[in-house]
Structure 1
Amino acid sequence: MREFVIKHLHKVYIGLLLVCSLSVYTVGIGHPNALFWDENYHIASAQKYIDSVMYMEPHPPLGKLLMAGSEAALGLNSDKDKSKFSETDYLRDNHLPEGGIDYFAFRLPSALLMVLAVLFFYGIVRRVSNNSHLAFAFSFLLIFDNALVIHARSAMLEGIQLFFILGAIYQCVRVITSHFQKDRTIRLPDYALLGVWIGLAISVKVNGAVLLLLFVMLYGADQWQAIRGLRIATLLKRLLSTVPAGVLPLIAVFLSIFYLHIGLGGEMPTHKDYDASPEYREQINNGQSWSPATFWTGLQDNSRYMSKYADGVPRLDVCKDGENGSYALGWPLGTKTINYRWSKQTTDGTTYVRYHNLVANPAVWFSVLAGIILSSGLIISRYVYQQPVKNNALFYWILAFTVLYFSYMLAILQIERVMYLYHYLVPLVFGCLNLALIFQYLFYEEFEKGSRHTYANLAGFVALVTGVFFVFAPFTYSWELTEAQFAMRNWFEFWKLELVR
């Protein structure tokens, strides 16, 4: 039995990760049996595809298309009157049919894709580190982070997008590691497939554009010798083929998804026209939503609407009562939490509250911040003080994920509109990848020797992450808390957790 497990350890790890992530992300996703946060928008948008009603929204359409496909395929609400969903952009209780709806199908794409995203994470760390144990251990950071879990178990976009983001990173890592470890030539189809993954990520939320840096990394690996030799002519010649090979599939994916979005909008909505141009309205009314002319007109109208919507979003106002937004500089510490919804009951004089609250797992978030600080110090020591590195390949991967992290955060800091804690989930995942590699770098010699003490420390860290997750699980799964139990979990004042009395 032991020999079988050792021989098939990689498959055993994948199986265990699947079981754990399916349990955490998918069990009971129908609860809470109520709308919260952006579900009010996204479920209304998804239903419009089912009802063939045109709409426009600030985010690209892929996430809502997947929600609509899941709802239509499973048909869990086929006996419910959801006609009012297409008559509003923001669902309220009075729009719901009597008895409510089943939320399972709307939330399923996010939950399932996040489960698969964990496997991509495992594959990325395993390929870079050549250590299945390390990859297995750090994959639990994605499974047992409370903020990731609450968003992935909802009809929101983060779980869906993280699948495509980690898929893109895995594609980039797979090609580069095969190139250097197995002397495999990097080909134009490799750039094209990377472009497809990036296009899918951007088609969920435009912040996925940070992944364009993966093209730079892939090109750098592809032309490493030419870069070192400053062979400018060779570099430019290769750019003439790699840029269109990667960018054209990206554009094709993005436009194809918008074609579906526009084509499925076969009827004008009754509650608003989204400032659609007269040409667009006429084409829809004439039943031409799938025509190329309508696609071009609709694409321009959607672009204008997205830009106009972004300009109309208010700025952060920390003095405003009930402000849920927060400064990006505070996100690595988990500030500020958001109480998505709550309900309470009083039994025998004791008040029990079910919170559905966006809160970080501090064992994950603080460790990620420590990893970013350590990797930044490593990079500075290498390029400023010319210190040697233990492993060049590992160092460059640490550099890559640190650059991704800071590039995203710097871009966010340029945005003037109000932003929220969950906008940190993308760089958090970059930071988790970086943390795994910086851990290997710090204990490189010990890993090479197979030190049991090092693996015991790693197991202890995973146990800590898991334990802290369950401490805050009542906020994630809406379990009842008394006031005293809430106070036990109110660890940091800067989280601004709000007690419901």
Structure 2
Amino acid sequence: MSSPSQSAGSVRQRKKEKRVTTPVPDGASEAAVEIAAKAKQELHPSQGAEWDYRLAITIITVLAFVTRFWSIGHPDQVVFDEVHFGKFASYYLRRMYFFDVHPPFGKLLFAFAGWLVGYDGDFLFDNIGDSYITNNVPYVAYRAMPASLGALTVPTVFLIMWESGYSLPACVTAAGLMLFDNAHIGQTRLILLDATLIFSMALSVLCYVKFYKQRHEAFGRKWWKWLLLTGVALSCVISTKYVGVFTFFSIGVPVAIDLWSLLDINRRQGALSLQEFAKHFVARAIGLIAIPFILYLFWFQVHFTILTRSGPGDDFMTPEFQETLSDNLMTMSSVNIEYYDHLTLRHKETKTYLHSHPDVYPLRYDDGRISSQGQQVTGYPHNDTNNHWQILPGSPLTGSTGQKVKHGDIVKLRHLVTDTILLTHDVASPYYPTNQEFTTVSIEDAAGTRHNETLFEIRIDGAKPGQEFKTMSSHFKLVHFTSRVAMWTHTSPLPDWAYKQAEINGNKNVQQSSNTWYVEEIPSLSLDSDRLIREPRKPKRMPFLKKYLELQRAMFYHNNALTSSHPYASFPIAWPFLLRGVSFWTENSTRSQIYFLGNPISWWLSSALLAVFLGILGADQLALRRGMDALDDRTRSRIYNSTGFFFLTWAAHYFPFFLMGRQLFLHHYLPAHLASTLVTGALVEFIFNIEPLSSNEVSIVIPGKRKTASIRKPVRERLGGQNLLGAWIATSAILALVFAVFIFYAPLTYGKPGLDVAGVVARKWLNYDLHFAK
């Protein structure tokens, strides 16, 4: 697996090899002579074969652009997740801060496309089906960017096979499966991130293959070039989506194995000193870790530099971050809070107000537990006088009135309408037996035996000691002073006895981010109060790394929180078998629809050959255990190293999804599908590009005896264009069938023409949930 291009160029060899004379310095060791010879004796195709490859990749590239750009202006409406990524491009163009769970690189490309055509970002892609024409959106320019990358992915797959030394039929097979795949076409002709992700992933594999081919000329110009380009491509993958880490793994494993082999003192090419090995290690660390990380940070710096205005993403960030944005209403309208002010407190995530009313908790809950029968404290979504609380000092104040509340202060909250004091105690809440119930008690009880149970600490997020408590800009946790639980709410409504309002309870996990609240306003403040006089404020500055780390935490948290159900979500086990797709867009008047679905023949064939590959490895290992050597060294090296690298790439981009708890969709399999087409192309060559049986003898060691026996065995010859009739027949048959199925499903990929009921039903091969089937 450490050599994805093992024997690279062997299938493109000359019919008559030339003898290459390699200059070797006087006194050079035999190992040095061997290394120099190997470096200069890479086999290349003859001039005719070279042109065959060039002609094939030219035709495939042209077809790739045709299939991706054909009727790219249809539909002229917002389709599926274009509502997200088109919107983000508009926010970039308007420089308004937004929040997304994906890194910025892919979205910046869309904004760049809009900027190139002079678009100002007025349209915000609010709803699927909104008209681009009516709103004067240059949507074709937006779609052209991913369509171009999707088209370039096809010749990149061809080049990966070519540079790895595979025959022309193998290259055409792998690229052809990508060329006529409905899923890749459908996903890369819309304003979505996957085209950038998949192209960058394919480019990373190609650059690594070319880097590995320079292994005999370590630290040469080309060696450094392809090492650094591999790192750049990897940075584009991880800077588009975080699943790009799977590409790092698929390339990192062979790099680690390669380093391990370099450490071997018994290497055939000669042992490396520890200093030489350290140079190899540092070079790879710089090229494949440091460079990608620096570029990854660079795109976030661009992101922050562009988004300088307040926008819809403000609420996801801390007040300190929001103060760096111009026009931020939260920081512009913040007011210092003083003791005895009347407040409305609002939960940051759910936007519900802290609320109470005279009704009490029921004696028993549905599960039989007993409540305190105290006054209900709930979360209410609308502004109401029952949301008004007065902030009181936890102990008598010394000094003048008008004292400001600060971070770390101990306070009480008085509910104004019922004249009671907020309290939490060791009684289970209605929905969470492990969390504490919140209620209120009379002023007399709060001043007497229950004083300690009414004390709460103000903990402002990220605050410094003594920082002033303000409306809007101070996000805080209200932590009970004695039991150390934080006030918390959630989205599940309480039963009818609480008017289906939200539950408020005491969360023992104080650090949980969903414990955060803020003060929305001070109703008791008169309109002519000096505290409402605000001087113009300039945006504050915040160190880049601090902004970056804050955004990273928010992105990972919200990405993991995408666990809600979706009608078109699917499980990874279903993806290789293409059991269902995703409805992207429909139009009732023409019975047209875009349904995201791969080419069934292509996907089923690729999935089957992944299993065949494992069978080949298992059969070879079993034969070796019995003393039979059924494969020649070159074929075994190709299967275990090059095809094994492709298989590892597939596995690295597929199996991690089984560990995820978030929403998953069929498009998550597209990078793995690309890797499976590489395995398919390699196995087409392995299976069909062979010589008839010959009578070469092999030695078989008979256990327990010092003798050998002779048998006949098949010998696989790498023929570089000779006797490839079987491979070409297989390639032609596969691609003809794949093309026919591509045309059959094209109306669902391109969204036209509309199909009648019979046409829709005919395409429901595995009960695909297509529209207009009745």
Give the TM-score normalised by structure 1: 0.87
SS at match of 1:417: coil
Aligned to 1:260: 302
Alpha-carbon spacing, 1:287–1:12, altered in 2? closer, same or farther (3 Å): farther
| Cα deviation, residue 334, structure 1 | 0.8
Aligned to 2:122: 83
Aligned to 1:354: 592
| Cα deviation, residue 14, structure 1 | 2.4
Report if aligned partners of 2:88, 2:107 keep a CA contact under 8 Å in 1: yes
CA-to-aligned-CA distance 1:279-326 (integer Å, 9 cap, x gap) = 22222237779x7x442232123212212212321255xxxxx71111
Number of residue-to-residue matches in the alignment: 474
Paired AA for residue 139 in structure 1: A
| Cα deviation, residue 224, structure 1 | 3.2
Report if aligned partners of 1:274, 1:305 keep a CA contact under 8 Å in 2: no
Superposition pairs of residues 151-162 of structure 1, within 5 angstroms = 151-162=187-198
Tell me whether 360-369 or 135-144 shows the greater mean CA deviation: 135-144
Alpha-carbon spacing, 1:96–1:26, altered in 2? closer, same or farther (3 Å): closer
Superposition pairs of residues 341-380 of structure 1, within 5 angstroms = 341-345=585-589, 352-380=590-618
SS at match of 2:234: helix
Q: Are 1:306 and 2:555 an aligned pair? A: yes
Tell me whether 219-228 or 450-459 shows the greater mean CA deviation: 219-228
Paired AA for residue 281 in structure 2: L
CA distance in 2, matches of 1:156, 1:340: 12
Q: Are 1:392 and 2:636 an aligned pair? A: yes
| Cα deviation, residue 242, structure 1 | 2.5
SS at match of 1:267: coil
Aligned to 2:723: 450
SS at match of 1:313: coil
Aligned to 2:145: 109
Alpha-carbon spacing, 1:17–1:28, altered in 2? closer, same or farther (3 Å): same
| Cα deviation, residue 46, structure 1 | 0.8
The structure whose RCO (Cα within 8 Å, separation 6+) is larger is: 1
CA distance in 1, matches of 2:606, 2:568: 23
Report if aligned partners of 2:310, 2:325 keep a CA contact under 8 Å in 1: yes
Report if aligned partners of 2:105, 2:239 keep a CA contact under 8 Å in 1: yes
CA distance in 2, matches of 1:108, 1:366: 30
Aligned to 1:129: 165
Q: Which runs of 5+ in 1 are unaligned?
A: 317-321, 346-351
Report if aligned partners of 1:39, 1:156 keep a CA contact under 8 Å in 2: yes
Report if aligned partners of 2:102, 2:241 keep a CA contact under 8 Å in 1: yes
Paired AA for residue 57 in structure 1: D
CA distance in 1, matches of 2:298, 2:319: 24
CA distance in 2, matches of 1:113, 1:233: 43
CA distance in 2, matches of 1:174, 1:42: 33
1:323 corresponds to which of 567, 570, 580: 567
Q: Could you say what the CA RMSD is over the residues aligned between the two structures, in angstroms?
A: 2.8
CA distance in 2, matches of 1:295, 1:108: 33
Aligned to 2:114: 71
User: Which of the pair is proportionally richer in strand?
Assistant: 2
Alpha-carbon spacing, 1:96–1:148, altered in 2? closer, same or farther (3 Å): closer
CA distance in 1, matches of 2:50, 2:683: 28
Aligned to 2:671: 426
Report if aligned partners of 2:86, 2:191 keep a CA contact under 8 Å in 1: yes
SS at match of 2:95: coil
CA distance in 1, matches of 2:50, 2:162: 16
2:746 corresponds to which of 470, 473, 476: 473
User: Which of the pair is proportionally richer in helix?
Assistant: 1
Alpha-carbon spacing, 1:404–1:384, altered in 2? closer, same or farther (3 Å): farther
Aligned to 1:319: none
| Cα deviation, residue 225, structure 1 | 5.2
Alpha-carbon spacing, 1:268–1:294, altered in 2? closer, same or farther (3 Å): farther
| Cα deviation, residue 408, structure 1 | 2.3
CA-to-aligned-CA distance 1:242-284 (integer Å, 9 cap, x gap) = 3234210010110011111111101011x45132122222222
Superposition pairs of residues 161-200 of structure 1, within 5 angstroms = 161-179=197-215, 183-185=216-218, 187=223, 190-200=226-236
CA-to-aligned-CA distance 1:62-108 (integer Å, 9 cap, x gap) = 11110111111023x56xxx4352xx8x5566797844533111111
Alpha-carbon spacing, 1:222–1:308, altered in 2? closer, same or farther (3 Å): closer
CA distance in 1, matches of 2:264, 2:75: 54
Paired AA for residue 295 in structure 1: F
CA distance in 2, matches of 1:342, 1:326: 20
2:182 corresponds to which of 129, 135, 146: 146
Percentage identity across paired residues of the two chains: 18
Q: Which runs of 5+ in 2 are unaligned?
A: 1-45, 327-536, 692-717
Paired AA for residue 451 in structure 1: L
Report if aligned partners of 2:211, 2:227 keep a CA contact under 8 Å in 1: no
| Cα deviation, residue 327, structure 1 | 1.0
SS at match of 1:242: helix
Alpha-carbon spacing, 1:283–1:9, altered in 2? closer, same or farther (3 Å): same
CA distance in 2, matches of 1:327, 1:458: 31
Alpha-carbon spacing, 1:18–1:407, altered in 2? closer, same or farther (3 Å): closer
Alpha-carbon spacing, 1:178–1:367, altered in 2? closer, same or farther (3 Å): farther
Tell me whether 305-314 or 119-128 shows the greater mean CA deviation: 305-314
Alpha-carbon spacing, 1:128–1:300, altered in 2? closer, same or farther (3 Å): same
Aligned to 1:488: 762
